[in-house]
Amino acid sequence: MTADLAIVLVVAAGTLAMRASMVTLLADVTISPRVEQALSLVAPAVLAGLVAQTLFLDGDGFRPIGSWYLAGAIAAVVAWRTRSFGWTLLAGMASVWLLEVLT
């Protein structure tokens, strides 16, 4: 309990420090166009990495081919065509349930 609590408190403090870092330090500084360009690429790069990590990896290895991959692909197509969070989540969850029932 105490060890776990200490870990979570340190992670919480570090995370808040990183979240607050640029908005407090950089807030009164004008950002160069080049830095702004790099920052605009953060979301696609990090989010695609998170997709890779949560969808394709499971523990130390690759997730075995199965319903998650197919449902993920369907969700990606729906996200691309509709650009809607709601339809994407609906399509993804419906696909994964359907595939579970079918297989």
Partner 1 sequence: MRDGARAILPLSIGAFPFGLAYGVTVVESSMNDFVGWLASFIVLAGAAQLAVSDLIDQGAPWFIVVGTALVINARFMMYSGALAPSFSEFPRRWRIPLAHFMTDQATVTSLLYDRTERQPAKRLAYYLGAGASFALSWWIGTTIGVVIGATIPAQLQVGFAAPLMFIALAVPSIGDRAALIAAAVGFSVTLMAKDAPMNSGLLIGAAAGIAFGMLAKTRASATSVVDLAEGESDVRDDS
3-state helix, strand, coil in the chain (%, to 5): 80, 5, 15
Q: Does 103 bind partner 1 (CB under 8 A)?
A: no
Distance in Å, CB of 57 to partner 1, minimum: 6
Residues 95 and 74 sit within 8 Å (Cβ to Cβ): yes
Binding string to partner 1 for residues 20 to 59, with x set by CB under 8 A, is what?
xxxxx-xxx--x---x-xxxxxxxxxxxxxxxxxxxxx--
Residue in 74, 55, 75 with CA at minimum distance from that of residue 65: 55
Residues near partner 1, by CB under 8 A = 1, 3-12, 14-16, 18-24, 26-28, 31, 35, 37-57, 60, 67-68, 71-72, 75-76, 79-80, 83-86, 88-89, 92-93, 96-97, 100
